[in-house]
Amino acid sequence: MPSPAPTAAPMTVEDIEETFALFDDWEDKYRFVIDLGKDLGVLEDRYRDEDHLVRGCQSQVWLHTHYEEPTQKLSLALDSDAHIVRGLISIVLAAYQDRTPQDILDYDIEGLFDRLDLLRHLSPTRGNGLRAMIKRVREAAQLHADG
């Protein structure tokens, strides 16, 4: 099945953490997150609908998941109309893309956000939106983990 949207994270989680550590100023980290989102492709229009909309986000965010039976991995397609959110999507993709549902459920995404000190520097509504995005990905993973 062809990819419906941006599916590859521009960097690994380790690369993102290393790059974050290089910056002392949160403005520089914020710009870096925005730059991460510039490398994402654009979600196909057919997935920009109510069924794929992530509720609870300040900006519009769409999520499409596809479970690959042969590999038993979950493929994610995410997009947003906001630059910073596209950067946050890149971080989510770095953590979750092409993992098994159980790997997604086991991954400590909150630990990653803590290591990046990310949520403390996002507005409460952006943080809630990020959590809503994570919740939807985990729900899709749970659906396939239960088989």
Query: Is 23 domain-assigned?
Result: yes
Higher-confidence position of 23 and 1: 23
44-49 long-range contacts (CB < 8 A, ≥24 apart) are 44/4, 44/5, 46/4, 47/4, 47/5, 47/77, 47/79, 48/79
Q: Any idea which residue has 């730059």 for tokens? A: 35
Higher-confidence position of 40 and 139: 139
- Res. 75 pLDDT band, cuts 50 70 90: very high
Which CATH number fits the domain that encloses residue 66? Answer: 3.90.1010.10
Q: Among 5-9, 75-79, 137-141, 143-147, which stretch is predicted with the lowest mean pLDDT? A: 5-9
Query: Is 3 domain-assigned?
Result: no
Q: In terms of residue numbers, what domain contains 125?
A: 13-145
Query: Is 117 domain-assigned?
Result: yes
Query: Is 5 domain-assigned?
Result: no
Q: Any idea which residue has 């630990």 for tokens? A: 111
Please tell me the predicted confidence (pLDDT) of residue 3.
47
2: pLDDT strictly greater than 80: no
Query: Is 8 domain-assigned?
Result: no
Query: Is 1 domain-assigned?
Result: no
Query: Is 31 domain-assigned?
Result: yes
Please tell me the predicted confidence (pLDDT) of residue 39.
84
Please tell me the predicted confidence (pLDDT) of residue 69.
87
Domain count of the fold of the chain: 1
Please tell me the predicted confidence (pLDDT) of residue 66.
92
Within a 10 A sphere around the Cβ of 71, how many other Cβ atoms? Answer: 10
User: CA-to-CA distance for 1 and 113, rounded, in angstroms?
Assistant: 32
Catalytic site positions: 57
Mean pLDDT of the chain: 91
For 83-95, the pLDDT digits (tens) are 999 999 999 999 9
The pTM for the full model equals 0.91
Query: Is 49 domain-assigned?
Result: yes
